[in-house]
Structure 1
Amino acid sequence: MQALTDRMSSKAKQYFIREINALHTVDNENIRFKRLEGLTPQELYYLIVLGEDEIYTSSYLNVYKKIFQRMAVPRGDSLLLTVNGDYFRKFIKMAAGYNTLNDFLGKMDKENATTTMKAFVIHLENTDGLEEAVDVADSYSSIMDKDLPLAKYISSEVKWNLDRNITTNNKRGIVIYNLLNVLFQSADTTAKVDLSKQLGIASIYGEDYNSLTDDSGRVVQQVFFYGDEDKDGQNSFENFMKMFRGKPEWKVTMNENWVTIISAKGKPVWIFANRPLLGDDDPDAKAQARLGDFLEENHLKPSIVIHRGHSYHLQYTLNQLSPSAKIVVLGSCGGYNNLNEVLTVCEDAQIISSKQVGTKTVNEPILQAINGSLLSGKNIDWVSMWKGLESKFKDAASREKFEDYIPPYKNLGAILIKAYRKSMGE
């Protein structure tokens, strides 16, 4: 069954989602979304849930709209019934992230909306793996930001399910719902919940400077870039390089495969980034492999790894992820499978991701803030760093983009995975 799902997901992404994403600059919706002609509401539903890691915001919003335009009676509960509730937690999580959840719940009777959200939370102990529990965790902060009464209802349902599992002595259920209960309490900043201490996991609020240095006192970073026909990777690389070229605190050298950036002032910070090469023989992959060999031969172990590029490139980054990584920047690739894979390789990694497509206007300030701390030999403090970054985004549009970025201490899905594994002894 999983093989079939994987094939469906691959086709959804390759044939449909990448096409409509690639046309994101086309204003004419009839042209941009022509490939979706003839798809049923149910097929559009599966495009959304199976394309979670790749779908652009504008693509999601249009596909979501078309689902109900193509229904004879546009009801949210009817939609879920016609797909037998398949991936419904994923659909609700995405609706929360893209701010369409209230619209979706509004397309059904109030009683059915309540039943839907009750089903969203109940019986997580019976699900395969942890993905659906992570979907519930990830949705909560989005819901709390937009609909506090609904967030309170979900929180109360979590407590009810915790009591239910305590009564039946279901260990897995007790662990899942206790973790969700603690995570949801922490979302209320006035409660001042120290998740690291309460869950018994490594700190999620920052990283000690010394833990990021190697035996020679260097902080080594590796950045993955990809060459794209739409020039996205190449443009991203150029924007990245503007942070270092011509700056007195950095020395930049480049060969045919990668660029080396070494601090000329302050503490030793070494950054290696492959060049986003494009060609028939996959030259960027070869550049990454050669850089990887160089790092290994010279005993350079990255403690910070950054993925820059379309989400469909991410698997290639994850395949090369160094177990030494303590901080991992994923961009808009923070779905369960990716979080799970990162934490399997680097069990205590602190992950920065984005709810929606990443942007240079936010990526660069975050990286500059990280490097600023490193050059000064200061510990990474995510809470104070995020407060400082907030002040840089003054207008509504840029602030909204920044708020889509999730620092490690707010990455409830990643925290749940870490704490669950510890609690279950996995």
Structure 2
Amino acid sequence: MSVVTRLQIAGCGMHLADQIALVGVPLAAALAFGASAEVIGVLVACQSLAHLLGSIPAGLIVDRGAPRRVALAAVLISLLGFAGTAVSVAAGNLIGFGACVTVAGFGIVLFVLTILSIVPRSVPAGALAQANARIEMPRAAASFAVPLALGAVVTVGTVDWIFAAAVAGGAVALAAVSGLPDYEPGRPHGQSPLRRIVEGGAFVLSNDLLLAISGCALFWNFAFSALLVTMVPLITDVFAMEAGVFGIAMAAFGLAAFAGSSLAARYAGRVRPSLVLLFGPGSSVPAVLLLLTVSPGSSPLPIYAGFFLLGFGPSMWMIAQNSVRQLVSPRDMLGRVNAVIQTSIYGVRPLGALCAGFLIAHSSPRTALVFIAAIYGLSFAAAAFSRLRSIRSYGELGALTVA
């Protein structure tokens, strides 16, 4: 079994578990614990906290540790967290539930950063995009299937087994990563952890491709977080539709992400990376403008189409920019580079949500939507006015980086 196949199987298990947690935490909090909206908000924040606070330490570990051992540790941490979460639900322990959800999140963060560092060690530069697409497909499939499945079957009587299913996903991932080859660990450093973090951040700022990717990702995630806050009041108060329209729109988003990842896995080597790197953020602008065409009481189809477009192009962009990151970053710095960008992304999401909430409260959801379209425009501009538009092939980029 190839390394990429093992990583794909491991991704299936881990992303299944992660999506179960993402959807299952608010469901379990409400159904099993009868938690208030404030408590549910704190629990959901615990998951985001793992990504925000865990990315930098995980990046340091990835750059220094032996990849197979780090991957095993990541899966075991998540397994421990999900198992503790399942036990906490059964025991009615809300504090234990929140703590174990956070532990599982730290494992997911470490796993994702480790995989991003293993792929360029396992395939040639020209095959990176296809390998990244194969590994990304399980995440996209889980984001589509898990919310639909849990929404259909979870009740007060069945909520106890949600996290048992997450444990099963972690067990699949553990079996897959156990068979990974042993790679050499990173070189030891005499520098302090803080100095190494600063070094990673400085490299991102000094590399024009990484800086463009960071700007594009920051604006896009700011806008997407704001959009999620805006959609429910927009659908219910402005469009006069049922709130369930939002759930279907998110399912369309997940389906599109899977379609985009599948297309990238098949054709990534035949399409100029620059086209994908521009199409991803560029397609988000008309996707949001499509939402502005909806009138009260009309069909929700433009909403579904807009969210499909939001999932399709950016999913291919994510695969392309991951490949660029892997090619232009020194191997012993890749974990920190990915961690710095990841931390920035998760740090900007709360700001997007707060801005949307302020605009809705002081103006209207439509005003917030216009603002979101403008931010998506900045995301596209960050890519369009950079060297990302001139990347003709991954193989050529890899050769230039080595040279």
Global fold match (TM > 0.5) = no
Larger Rg: 1
Whichever structure has more helix as a proportion of its residues is 2
Higher relative contact order (CA 8 A, sep 6+): 2
TM-score (norm 1): 0.27
Whichever structure has more strand as a proportion of its residues is 1
TM-score (norm 2): 0.28
